[in-house]
Structure 1
Amino acid sequence: MDVVLELPKTEVHIPKGLDLITLGAGCFWCIEAVFQRINGVEKVVSGYSGGYIENPSYEQIGSGTTGHAEVIQVYFDPEVISLTQLLEIFWATHNPTTLNRQGADAGPQYRSSIFYHNPEQQKLALTLKAQLNMSNVFERPIVTEITAYANFYPAEDRYQDYFNQNGTQLYCQFVILPKVNKLKEFFAERLK
């Protein structure tokens, strides 16, 4: 008999006029740096989502046993940037075809994931994923997990705004900066 564990739930408070999507694309430092630079994105919070442990630590997440993915919550103004445009940037700035891996970062905590907050987000994410797969934009099928939002726990303060605070570190220079540069090259019209 299969045992089904119920995920702990956390509340979401979305400021008036904004929308929210929760995205995972490997290390949250990388995706945070990308989305902080997009016009219409009002706030980005790094954290953990989709797992069974309440209030996990970075060390617990690193074990790969919590069920959580490293993610960001993106608060955005849909009058300035659409969810479609955000998801296009999401898929273009990481490798969504590798299961539980982004570069040297391996484990389920680094999975490509979209945690949708309503049925419209789910439908849009599934439609765009199918269109990208049908058009063979990537050499392999997209494995991005598209799952209903259940919980989010902010990462520790030292992991927030990481690239902006630590841009000269080797990881930032060799892993994050190329993603930021790719954003600048292909989505210059979307930058702040």
Structure 2
Amino acid sequence: MLGVTKTQMVTKDKALVGRDTPLRVADRHAVLGTPLQGPWPEGFAVLYVGMGCFWGAERIFWQIDGVHSTAAGYIGGWTKNPTYQETCTSLTGHTEAVQVVYDPAKVSVETLLAAFWENHDPTTPNRQGGDVGTQYRSAIFATTPEQLTAAAASRDTYQARLASEGFGEISTQIDMVDSAGDGEFYYAEDYHQQYLHKNPGGYCNHGFCQVSYA
């Protein structure tokens, strides 16, 4: 692996090149029935979150009232339109992530961030449970300065809650999306989209992680 371990972030010059053609996905969300890709309705917002395997993470967010669409994909690295197999080598720099498209008039970014913190362990760098590698790192990628401010504030709030319960330091990456890797979100293969809806008994290691946000 060109001297890169699964828990060591690859540098841009050693990242896989990828391809110009995007991976194909369905037109519609299998659960919500909304478009899987933009353009989005006027006034809607987009947030990207990485919290380990994107299967369970995506299901958490499509169940929240006010979320318009979700999608599994790759973000934060340098490989163009990566495949799942490439991402699993840790040579893309991407993390598995969920694109969350929401209506701010119906759900606040703070509500989405609370779901993010409560449903994974943000204190384990580059791993979630038995899933190990930079593609499983905890991350929040904001699309507006307001989201970035809210993400940082929510991290501080949750860190205080974790500390009071004897847990360690949060390792979550928090960045503007356009300053992380090449700044692009790449849709994962279609079989990953809404995977746990299509495969109800499929692998999932997400759920309430012992400490509530509020």
1:39 pairs with 2:65: yes
Amino acid corresponding to residue 112 of structure 2 in structure 1: L
Alignment of 1:54-69 (within 5 A): 54-69=80-95
**What's the counterpart of residue 173 of structure 2?**
145
1:103 pairs with 2:129: yes
How many Å separate the matches in 2 of 1:5 and 1:67? Answer: 8
Question: How many positions carry a matched residue from both structures?
Answer: 172
How many Å separate the matches in 2 of 1:88 and 1:59? Answer: 31
How many Å separate the matches in 2 of 1:123 and 1:57? Answer: 32
Cα separation, partners in 2 of 1:14 and 1:30, compared to 1, 3 Å:
same
Q: Which runs of 4+ in 1 moved over 2 A?
A: 4-8, 12-15, 134-138
1:24 pairs with 2:50: yes
Q: Please point out which of 154, 159, 165 is paired with 2:187.
A: 154
Tell me how far 1:18 sits from its aligned partner: 1.1
SS of corresponding position for 1:86: helix
Amino acid corresponding to residue 162 of structure 1 in structure 2: Y
Q: Please point out which of 148, 154, 159 is paired with 1:128.
A: 154
Indicate conservation of the 8 Å contact 1:95/1:102, yes or no: yes
Amino acid corresponding to residue 103 of structure 2 in structure 1: D
Indicate conservation of the 8 Å contact 2:117/2:158, yes or no: no
RMSD: 2.4
Indicate conservation of the 8 Å contact 1:14/1:20, yes or no: no
**What's the counterpart of residue 27 of structure 2?**
none
TM-score after normalising by structure 1: 0.82
Amino acid corresponding to residue 29 of structure 1 in structure 2: W
